[in-house]
Amino acid sequence: MTVMTHSERKRRILNNALPIICVLLTILMLLFGEDMKAGFIGGARLALLKILPTLFPFFILADLWSTVFEPSSSSKELHFFEKPFGVSKGALSAFLIGMVCGFPLGVRSAVKQYEYEGIGQKELEWLCPLVNNPSAAFVISGIGAGLYGSISVGVYLYLSVIFSAVLIGIFSRPSLKISEKTHVITRQSFNLTSSIRSAGMSSLAILSYIVFFSALIGLLRSFIKNELLLTVISCFLEISSACSMTAFQFGGTEPLSLAVCAFALGFSGFSVHLQAFSFMPSSLSKKRYLFTKLLIGILSTLIAFSFSFIVI
């Protein structure tokens, strides 16, 4: 008698469940296709009108930035970065690109550093969730000005997320010696044609993730009639829809509205995480990545809620 291992049992259960799941999904899509279609259209409109116009130029800017950014091994900014975080200088460019240009550029830059041995695997595993945050343009222009009608709200939300990522990065830094690498990997030259093509492909991928999860939220709307509960669920699925629903659900600049929006921005949703996973090596721990993103989301919420009474 052959004894199956735990992984083999899980695989058999999954294989047996997949046909049932496919049948159920087909039935749901036929019965509630209009709700799913409405979610799809809403997600596409949000992405095309508010998200991609701010992200596309930053894809090209990130390529240009990585071409010219090459600090020397003795520069003060590298020492300032290495000391609190305890990682090699190869992580600095990815950290800055992720901070300013946002997802998925930070993760893409970090993986590029790892592939050319600018950073080690433990450093990459630590770095990926910290640099996969929304860009300054997305939060300040798209969320602050676009949804809340206030640039100052966007700046406040952006700083809440970045400050949370920096704090968690310091307290969760890798327990290893700083790498002996003496170089920062950069592009050899900037090619505008290839950069535009790459930006277009990346934008199309982001659009695909947004409309998929927006359609899923539309399907869930058929069963979940409580808009508050649906808004909370959307915070774990798709960041753009979550922020839009939060601004509409709570309205204005109430502390609770900003706190929920800050969580959506800090955690960033599985739509963004799947984009990051497509760049990350399969050997990296996805559980650690998700746990770190959850911590960033929670801390962003606490900061936004606590200081919104003072700042806003």
Q: State residue 154's pLDDT score.
A: 87
Q: State residue 90's pLDDT score.
A: 66
Average pLDDT, the chain: 78
User: What whole-number distance in Å separates Cα of residue 221 and Cα of residue 25?
Assistant: 15
Which residue from 267, 271, 273 is spatially nearest to 300, judged by alpha carbons? 267
Rounded to 5°, angle at Cα 243 from 237 and 248: 125
Q: State residue 48's pLDDT score.
A: 83
User: What whole-number distance in Å separates Cα of residue 160 and Cα of residue 163?
Assistant: 5
Q: State residue 99's pLDDT score.
A: 81
The token pair at 276 is 């990051």
Beta strands in 17-66 (DSSP E): none
Other beta carbons within 10 angstroms of residue 290's beta carbon come to 15
DSSP 8-state assignment for residue 142: I
Q: State residue 69's pLDDT score.
A: 58
Compute the CA torsion angle 163, 309, 51, 298 (nearest 10 deg). Answer: 50
The model carries a pTM of 0.78
User: What whole-number distance in Å separates Cα of residue 118 and Cα of residue 83?
Assistant: 17
Q: What are the pLDDT digits (tens) for 94-103?
A: 787 888 777 7
CB 70 within 8 A of CB 190: no
Contacts of 201 (CB under 8 A, 6+ apart): none
CB 196 within 8 A of CB 104: no
Q: By CB neighbour count within 10 A (0-12 exposed, 13-18 middle, 19+ buried), where does 246 fall?
A: buried
Q: State residue 295's pLDDT score.
A: 95
CB 121 within 8 A of CB 114: yes
Q: Which residues of the chain have pLDDT under 70?
A: 1-8, 10, 14, 54, 62, 65-90, 174-189, 251-253, 308-312
Q: What are the pLDDT digits (tens) for 61-70?
A: 767 766 665 5
CB 226 within 8 A of CB 87: no
Q: Half-sphere exposure (CA, 13 Å, Cβ side) for 163?
A: 14
Q: State residue 186's pLDDT score.
A: 47
